[in-house]
Amino acid sequence: MEYVIEMLNIRKEFPGIVANDNITLQLKPGEIHALLGENGAGKSTLMNVLFGLYQPEKGEIKVKGKPVRITDPNVANDLGIGMVHQHFMLVDRFTITENIILGKETTKGGKIDIKKAEKDVREISERYGLAVDPQAKISDISVGMQQRVEILKTLYRGAEILIFDEPTAVLTPQEIKELIQILKTLIKEGKSIILITHKLKEIMEVCDRVTVIRKGAGIGTVNVSETNPNELASLMVGREVTFKTDKTESKPQQDVLDIKDLKVKDSRGLGVINNLNLHVKAGEIVGIAGVDGNGQTELIEAITGLRKSESGSIKMNGKEIMNMAPRKVTETGVGHIPQDRHKHGLVLDFPIGENMVLQTYYKSPFSKRGVLSFKEIYSKAKTLIKEFDVRTPSEYTHARALSGGNQQKAIIGREIDRNPDLLIAAQPTRGLDVGAIEYIHKRLIEQRDHGKAVLLISFELDEIMNVSDRIAVIYEGEIVAVVNPKETTEQELGLLMAGSKRKEAGGENHV
């Protein structure tokens, strides 16, 4: 048997758009096969076809050489196909075990045999090196853990072929290392994997072959050993991509954001931000580097008014904004690209056009005497969609129907377009393709060059190093060091982020 899965000449249409046009993908047993393409190229759609969530208009699917019709995910499960989705599908209030067995419960006398289920979960998790606590609630565990639960779910259902849709986009660098290890174990145990990712480094590291699609059409399949990141990028985008962002020296001016001795507690009442000092000047990009969970989220929430601060001061252009309502903060000139696009960034059930005025809908020209002008709203949306290359059938399409990366581009467009004095960008390029990342970095630097302040929060050291003018390292709710990206190395940053070393850079910060 040469292929475990063959998707031949698949075509899938949505109203107003052809998401997959004549795509062929063949998966060999025991390989990790990458699926690469720009945002909106049709990767998730193709995998949803394989998983039975969508029915293709044309084409054929063969599993182990036999033609099959995968009419729904149950059929996919029975064929040994499992999928870890781009956006997780877990029940928050259930335990890990309950989530894993959901829909496949083992019963004893009509009652769920939770003891046995827990034992089974433990067994699988040991076998594949996926350590989890079977009794923990989903709402209490990290994103990385949640992903493990998704993987366990597929394994529990006996999956032989695993589909991963952008698994690394939501993970921290440490978690990515662990995931890659897990992928290798899975292959050793005889599984075959399709991996969607925008990170070419990951493809080069773990994949055997890669299939590239562009704007819904299949471009071809290449062996990873015979290619390189540059070639892959140009195959996928259709032009040369530079990986390093060019920028001139920054010309910092007056303080725009000035935080002094800030203290913030988290939802459990524990101090997560402790005497934090940080300032961002007009005309500079300050990057915040840190391991996830060291107070980054709470810091952003405190600045934007989404979370109460205990004490200290947050000044915006010299004006105190601590504990102000979010709208007031926004009106002092703060823009915010949120970390979680589905939770905070978009109203998924609104058309993408209406999402473009989420903060400005009540202002002229979008609203006059309380009445909305849809003409103005949609013409603004049209401009932004074009400018930021948001791939969508139209501005009336619901945000939910956009691909993950295009949702992100829409949010970024909206926030940059408001031209805020301070732009807070939290993981702005999460889930974006290399071409889009290049463009977004350019736009962030452009904001800086127009004399705006930018605060960048990212787990990707590459991004922090490339884009920032100053790097502030956060550790346990404190800025423990401020360094110049030109004078530091990833190793040094790594040490600082681990809290092993404190450093003062030129007395410039108030640590």
Partner 1 sequence: MSNRMKNIIVPLVAVLLGVLVGTIIMIATGYNAGAAFIALWNGAFGEIYYSGEVVRQVTPYILAGLAVAFAFRTGLFNIGVEGQLIVGWLAAVWVGVAFDLPKVIHLPLAVLAAAAAGAFWGFIPGLLKAKFKVHEVIVTIMMNYVALHVTNYFIRTVLSDKSDRTEMISESSSLRSPFLEGLTDYSRLHWGILIALTCVFIMWFLLEKTSKGYELRAVGFNQHASEYAGMNVSRNIILSMVISGAFAGLAGAMEGLGTFGYAAIKGGFTGVGFDGIAVALLGGNGPIGIIFAALLFGSLKVGALNMPLEAGVPNELVDIIIALIVFFVAASYMIRIFIDRISKKGVK
Q: Which residues sit at the interface with partner 1, rule CB under 8 A? A: 304, 306, 325-330, 336, 338, 343-350, 354, 358-359, 361-362, 366-367, 370-372
Position among 17, 75, 102, 372 found at the interface with ligand ATP (CB under 6 A): 17
Q: Dig out the tokens for 346 from the structure.
A: 């978009």
Q: Which amino acid is located at 69 in the chain?
A: R
Q: Dig out the tokens for 107 from the structure.
A: 């019963």
Minimum distance of Mg ion from residue 40's CB (angstroms): 8
The answer to whether residue 406 forms part of the interface with ligand ATP (CB under 6 A) is: yes
Choices 24-32, 37-45, 61-69, 319-327; region in contact with ligand ATP by CB under 6 A: 37-45
The answer to whether residue 44 forms part of the interface with Mg ion (CB under 5 A) is: yes
Minimum distance of Mg ion from residue 24's CB (angstroms): 19
C-beta separation of 23 from 9 below 8 A: yes
Choices 32-40, 130-138, 287-295, 372-380; region in contact with ligand ATP by CB under 6 A: 32-40
For residue 311, CA distances in Å to 260, 261, 422 come to: 9, 7, 22
Minimum distance of partner 1 from residue 328's CB (angstroms): 8
**Between 74 and 113, how does the x/- string for binding to Mg ion read (CB under 5 A)?**
------------x---------------------------
Minimum distance of ligand ATP from residue 265's CB (angstroms): 36
C-beta separation of 406 from 345 below 8 A: no
Residues whose CB is less than 8 angstroms from the CB of residue 424 and which lie 6 or more positions away in sequence, other chains included: 300, 303, 304, 334, 335, 336, 337, 455, 457
Nearest to 453 by CA among 480, 425, 427, 481: 425
Alpha helix positions (H), 20-133: 43-50, 73-78, 96-101, 114-127
The answer to whether residue 429 forms part of the interface with ligand ATP (CB under 6 A) is: no
Minimum distance of ligand ATP from residue 403's CB (angstroms): 3
Nearer to ligand ATP among residue 359 and residue 394 (C-beta): 394
The answer to whether residue 406 forms part of the interface with Mg ion (CB under 5 A) is: no
Residue tagged 């773990």 (tokens): 206
The answer to whether residue 407 forms part of the interface with Mg ion (CB under 5 A) is: no
Position among 21, 37, 132, 380 found at the interface with ligand ATP (CB under 6 A): 37
C-alpha to C-alpha distance for 460 and 201, rounded to whole angstroms: 13
Nearer to ligand ATP among residue 402 and residue 473 (C-beta): 402
Give which of Mg ion, ligand ATP, partner 1, none residue 401 binds (C-beta under 5 to 8 Å, depending on kind): ligand ATP
Give which of ligand ATP, Mg ion, partner 1, none residue 14 binds (C-beta under 5 to 8 Å, depending on kind): ligand ATP
C-beta separation of 244 from 466 below 8 A: yes
Give which of Mg ion, ligand ATP, partner 1, none residue 45 binds (C-beta under 5 to 8 Å, depending on kind): ligand ATP
Nearest to 82 by CA among 175, 170, 187, 165: 165
Q: Dig out the tokens for 313 from the structure.
A: 């001061």
For ligand ATP, how many residues bind (rule: CB under 6 A)?
Answer: 20
For residue 366, CA distances in Å to 221, 361, 453, 497 come to: 47, 6, 27, 44
Task: Report the interface residues with Mg ion, using CB under 5 A.
Answer: 44, 86, 403-404
